[in-house]
Amino acid sequence: MFELNLIPQKMKYVGLTNNPDVIKRKHGQPMDWWQRVFASELEANKWLKVLIKMYGYKEVNDQRGWKYGYTFSNNPN
């Protein structure tokens, strides 16, 4: 027999919004919140797809708009 140690994984989230302050409050003011500004919706959506596909981020589905991109995690520690 062997012992299986399940260590909680840190989930990484990404999204687009026009109201980053509202979204940040909704998610409990994450300490590792990061955001950036986009000049176009096309640029924003490309960035979002890269983070999801290449870096394993999970998309947050509670956003509207595209002017700001943001990331945060649910650090289990």
pLDDT of residue 76: 46
Q: How far apart are CA 25 and CA 52, in angstroms?
A: 23
pLDDT of residue 61: 83
pLDDT of residue 52: 96
Q: What is the pLDDT along the chain (77 residues), one digit of tens a residue?
A: 555 556 666 789 999 999 999 999 999 999 999 999 999 999 999 999 999 999 999 999 877 899 999 999 975 43
Q: How far apart are CA 43 and CA 40, in angstroms?
A: 5
pLDDT of residue 3: 59
Cβ contact 11:58 at 8 Å: yes
pLDDT of residue 59: 94
The structure tokens listed for 15 are 């999204």
Coil, strand or helix: which one is 15? strand
